[in-house]
Amino acid sequence: MARRHRHMIGYRILLVIAIPTMYYLCISLASLLTNDPETSDNSNRIRLRKLMNIGEAEVNGSDNCTPPSIQEFPSDGFTADERRSGYILVHIILALYLFLLVAIVCDDFFVPSIQRICEKFGMPKDVAGATFMAAATSSPELFINVVGTFITEGDLGIGTIVGSAVFNILAVPACCGLFAREVLDLDWWPITRDSMAYAITVLLLIITLHDGRIEWYEALILVIVYILYIAAMYFNKDISRCMGSMVSKRSQYKNLDDRPLLPKHISDPKITDSCEFDEDESLEIVNMTSWPESKCEKFWWLLTWPINFALLCTIPDSRRKSLKSWYPVTFFMCIMWIATMSYIVAWDITIIGDTFKIPDSVMGLTFLAAGMSVPEAVSSVIVTNQGHGTMGISNSIGSNVFDVLLCLGLPWFIKAAFYPKIPGTSYVQINSEGLVYSSVSLFSTLIILYLAFCLNKFRLDRKVGLTCIVTYGLFLILASLTELNVFFPVNRSTCVH
């Protein structure tokens, strides 16, 4: 457990260095493409005419701007000049630490409590994986979208989920392929099955976002499709047998997998076929008093001690035999922790974006998406190195179904139907048109990943890893340039504050 958490913080530090570097390269390229004053002036006039039609008509052009999301949050005590002079590092370090905290809450407390619930009610593993387990591991994305939908009323939530989806589709397989100890043969059916489900999900998202607004019935359709998706899981084994009989002549793909479609968290070395919780098996209960021996372990112990102490005082550890029956309290307290931390993370990321003049959509697509998705990447790498390549890859694909259909659909439906921004209406407005193009790119990235596996005869190796990491880098560049209005106007400028 400790080693995996060390890997998480290492990956986050790498991403926090790499993503801003890529972003500033995009800024430089944007300045080169728009350095002609006449072209820039024409572009601004076009942007003004086009964006004046977004949402409700404004009286004059000076009001045609997007209110800054930072105004919806409390002040951090620093002025903008102070943050630009170096104090923004406080927020960057805080964001990293909060990412680590959320990962520990999910991995060490929330998921075990969900496993207790599954065991208590004897739930089928497919249904448990698609509902409770997916909710547990995707809860940060869900609460981030709740904050983005109800508080900031901006694009932070959808940008995070779209960015997380691309991260899961490309960055996770890239890490699995690049860090795999050997070439792994993958089962074709689980990957094909989850790819088809995700393709349908992305098409629904594209249709929903095409006009820049989400009507209440469109959001409701997303939720209903997710419910139908869960119902279809009961027939998963029958579908597997049917597909197996159709391709029985293809001996290289004869092993079929009937695991859950959506379990994102895999930490137990033993992959079981039931939703049972093994008593303290391979379990590392946090020791708050013993001093580690190695320097790395001492650093990690000191780094995580405040987190572990706070969680120990507020959340019953249902992994312990003496606290096994406390799982409902653990479940509730984890939700409270994740919801609170998601709000603080959204506030922190919004301040970072406002300081560097980065749109909410870009922050969601890059920084926030990577930070929230790194735990899944680490888990998939661990499982892949244990020889379960299909499990690691297919989970990263299937988990996105929950993110898109429920993490987006449910908050959108509640907001549009009961708490619309403009009284008398029943829709949620999307500020950035670029997210529509980013959603279309989700479909493209899925096709690239599946073709990479097909052309490589469903084998996971460094070739697939390199293909995915290069594609992910191109996506970040193109998506960032699009959100920065380089190719065409998609974002209104942020109002001066």
What is the predicted pLDDT for the residue at 27? Answer: 43
Determine which of 166-175, 255-264, 366-375 has the lowest per-residue pLDDT on average: 255-264
pLDDT interval class at 282 (50, 70, 90)? very low
pTM of the model: 0.68
User: How far are the Cα atoms of 259, 260, 351 from residue 272, in angstroms, in the given order?
Assistant: 9, 11, 43
DSSP tag of 263? -
**277 has a pLDDT exceeding 90:** no
Domains and CATH numbers, the chain: 78-235+295-484 (1.20.1420.30)
Give the end-to-end CA distance of the chain in Å, rounded to a whole number: 45
What is the predicted pLDDT for the residue at 24? Answer: 44
Comparing CA positions, the residue from 153, 141, 218, 162 lying closest to residue 483 is 162
pLDDT digits over 291-330, tens only? 777 888 888 888 888 888 899 889 998 888 888 888 889 9
Which uninterrupted H or E stretch holds 97?
helix 88-105
Which uninterrupted H or E stretch holds 436?
helix 434-455
* Nearest-10 crossing angle of helices 369-385, 88-105: 40
Comparing CA positions, the residue from 173, 76, 112, 98 lying closest to residue 143 is 98
pLDDT digits over 44-91, tens only? 443 433 433 434 433 344 456 776 767 767 888 888 888 888 889 999
Q: In angstroms, rounded to a whole number, what is the distance separating the alpha carbons of residues 434 and 431? A: 9
Comparing CA positions, the residue from 197, 219, 157 lying closest to residue 415 is 219
Q: Across the strands, what pairs with 215? A: 427
φ, ψ at 336 (rounded to 5°) = -65, -45
pLDDT interval class at 287 (50, 70, 90)? low
Radius of gyration of the chain (CA): 23
pLDDT digits over 213-247, tens only? 889 999 999 999 988 888 777 676 677 677 666 65
Question: Is residue 213 classed as helix, strand or coil in its secondary structure?
Answer: strand
More confident residue, 15 or 378: 378
- Ranked by mean pLDDT, which of 110-124, 244-258, 400-414, 482-496 comes out on top? 400-414
Q: Which structure tokens are listed for 89?
A: 């590092």
Q: In angstroms, rounded to a whole number, what is the distance separating the alpha carbons of residues 158 and 434? A: 11
pLDDT digits over 425-446, tens only? 888 887 766 667 777 888 888 9
Give the strand pairing for 427-429 and 213-215. antiparallel
pLDDT digits over 170-192, tens only? 888 888 888 877 888 888 877 88
Q: Which structure tokens are listed for 198?
A: 């995700």
**156 has a pLDDT exceeding 50:** yes
Q: In angstroms, rounded to a whole number, what is the distance separating the alpha carbons of residues 482 and 435? A: 9
